[in-house]
Amino acid sequence: MILRSAETASSGPHLGTAVDKLPPIAIRSLSCEVHGQLLLDNVRLDIKGGEFVVVAGPNGAGKSTLLSLIAGLVPQRLGALLTGDIHIGARKVCYSAPGRSRFAGVSLVPQKTSSFADLSVHDNLLLSTHGLKFSPERLRDRLSYTYGLLPALAGKRGLRAGALSGGERQLLGLAIGLMPAPTTLLLDEPTLGLSEQNAALLFSAIRAIHAAGCTVIVVEHRLGSIHGLADRLIIVRDGKVHTDTAWPNDIDATVLASIYG
């Protein structure tokens, strides 16, 4: 894996604004290339604290790559070339050790479940706080909050994660993302494969998380279901920010054509 900072990149401006004047998440000149394929191309974004942002676009547009990089996860593939900067508050995360974004209050809920199938639901939640040095009181508070927000898991805390239904595993993934008490929650296709009923349960939890002040950035295809929640729509196509706009009043054919081309 090859990493270059913006200062040594051959093209594109580097971050010149004082860090303390940046928005909570500032992305500048971010590009990611793997084996000659440009996954992200000179992306620039500012995300305000407390925003609810939906990232949409066709398959392979670079949406998941964008979330992974915000989470401080550089693609672990030979030959990955990354340029640009991501700042979360005063922390520069692109070139930091994996997981540093977690200590800056960022939590990623990936497409594929992040739970351990042979561990219980409860043990998965405990493990998700590893390294955060929570006091016993703080840990109890986080468990109480998470189970209260996702009561479907509370009654199954002793059950192996591998024995959960698909919808329950998605809820567990969200619970794992919530345990570190993030100020920014990244969700990558959280309702993928869920029934409408389970998707509604998950969106209800996400609504409560956002209402409590958490910044939410979600890659999602069920745009109709998320209507009324989001503040902003970012459309990514071919690794570029194609559209960055306030959430539309209606998800009509014009919006869908902009997303899927």
Mean pLDDT, to the nearest integer, of 228-257?
Answer: 84
Cα 58 from Cα 116, distance rounded (Å): 30
Does 64 reside within a domain?
yes
* Strands annotated E in 102-259: 106-109, 184-188, 215-219, 232-237, 240-246
Higher pLDDT, 13 or 40: 40
Give yes or no for residue 7 having a pLDDT over 50: no
> What's the CATH code of the domain at 241?
3.40.50.300
Give yes or no for residue 166 having a pLDDT over 50: yes
Does 6 reside within a domain?
no
Does 31 reside within a domain?
no
Q: What is the pTM of this model?
A: 0.85
Phi–psi pair at 111, nearest 5 degrees? -60, -50
Does 207 reside within a domain?
yes
Q: Which domain holds residue 202?
A: 49-70+97-105+182-260
Cα 226 from Cα 49, distance rounded (Å): 19
Q: Could you tell me the two tokens for 1?
A: 């894996």
pLDDT category at 78 given cuts 50, 70, 90 is low
pLDDT in tens, 111-122: 877 799 999 999
Give yes or no for residue 182 having a pLDDT over 80: yes
Phi–psi pair at 38, nearest 5 degrees? -85, 110
Mean pLDDT, to the nearest integer, of 52-69?
Answer: 92
Give yes or no for residue 209 having a pLDDT over 70: yes
